[in-house]
Amino acid sequence: MLVIPVKNNYNNEIIKNALMPHLGRTVKIKYNLGRNKFETYEAKIIKIYNCVFLIELTENKIIKSFSYADIITKTIKIYE
């Protein structure tokens, strides 16, 4: 799982630095849709920006974007 070193003091730079080692690698993303509904993607992190990052799904090459707030609020979880 993506390890974020500091708790209760998150900012975009901390999340961005935690994502950098995963850039270009295939990861598994679990996306919480609410009400016990989840989607799981196997994807490659292709770009990291100041507030968002892009992934490309390995199955059908669709590109999706997620914000760093999704990681902080645990809407998504990233696994290796």
Q: Residue 68 pLDDT more than 80?
A: yes
Condensed to tens digits (0 to 9), the pLDDT of residues 23-62 reads: 999 999 999 999 999 999 999 999 999 999 999 999 999 9
For the chain, domains (ranges, CATH) are: 12-79 (2.30.30.100)
pLDDT at res. 2: 78
pTM: 0.86
Amino acid present at 77? K
What share of residues in the chain are helix, strand, coil (percent, to 5)? 20, 45, 35
Strand order from edge to edge, sheet including 63-67: 63-67, 52-57, 37-48, 26-34, 76-79
Tell me the two tokens of residue 55. 């992934």
Give φ, ψ of 38 to 5 degrees.
Answer: -130, 150
